[in-house]
Structure 1
Amino acid sequence: MSRRLRFVSLTPDQQRILNEAYQYGEKRALRRRAHAILLNHKGHTINQIRDIIGVKRDTVSTWLSQWEADGIEGLQDKPREGRPHLLSESDLAVLEQLVEEYPHQLPVLHAKFQEQTGNVVSQDTLRRALKKRL
């Protein structure tokens, strides 16, 4: 049983967009997906693309479907949820104010922060927030 060969046809504008994504894309995933679409347009089969890029055949097929359905937007990673932040913007503002009063005194800062906000977090959480914020 042979599989139907599947190839996308691209306009010059689409080729330019995919080439830019492949060469200058910010994320590796987008560059790989754009590369796969370009290879398919040049006549490579899904199995050949699978071997070149090193992913499963179904993955390449999914990328082709996403391209056909949504264009370059279909190749972008979708936003992911993740764990909610432990510290709100108002908590971070309080933390910044406390740092000015108690610099280099993390245990004191930790106690004052919990006292003022009622938010129970570890000293490590405060340290990471300060490192990221300041």
Structure 2
Amino acid sequence: MKFVSPLSDTDLQALMEAYVHAEKPALRRRAHAIVLSHKRYSINQISDILAVTRETVSLWFDAWEADGLEGLRDKARPGRPALYDARDRERLQALVAEHPHQIKAVQARLQQETGKSSCTATVKRALKKSGV
């Protein structure tokens, strides 16, 4: 049977902190798996509890052994850079406050002010990212 190496009190405390308070659900789940292994749950039991494959749990163990808590975090993924920066999103929020039910008018005004062309879906994503 495969288990993680015995955890120090510091490691266990860091994992419990990540399990309870981490922003990303994936990190919470991975930290939970390591804690369960420390408590001598088998890979099969952990995969059943977390509803993932045995291979996934094994990969999490390997990542923990190699890089500790950093190994459990999501890796950066390639993608297109955001069109609107923080200042643009602030202006977008102000425009929406002025014209709350006119997304196309807001989009046109933002394009006029910034020179950045986008579709309404991009404007909505920017608003969502800003918490609106």
Is the TM value for this pair above 0.5? yes
How is 1:70-109 mapped onto 2 (pairs within 5 angstroms)? 70-87=67-84, 92=88, 104=99
- The match for 1:6 is 2
Deviation for aligned residue 1:88: 5.8
2:53 to 46, 53, 56: 56
1:33 has 2:35 as partner: no
Distance 1:61 1:81, change over 3 A: same
Deviation for aligned residue 1:50: 0.7
Q: Distance in 1 between matches of 2:131 and 2:47?
A: 42
Percent identity between the two aligned chains:
47
Q: Distance in 1 between matches of 2:127 and 2:50?
A: 40
- The match for 2:16 is 19
Give the counterpart letter for 2:2 in structure 1: R
Q: In terms of mean alpha carbon deviation, does 72-81 or 118-127 score higher? A: 118-127
Deviation for aligned residue 1:80: 2.2
Distance 1:86 1:6, change over 3 A: same
Which runs of 5 or more structure 1 residues have no equivalent in the other structure? none
Q: Distance in 2 between matches of 1:19 and 1:34?
A: 7
Distance 1:23 1:129, change over 3 A: closer
Q: Distance in 1 between matches of 2:112 and 2:131?
A: 21
Distance 1:62 1:120, change over 3 A: same
Deviation for aligned residue 1:41: 1.1
Deviation for aligned residue 1:110: 5.7
The alignment covers a number of residue pairs equal to 124
Deviation for aligned residue 1:109: 6.7
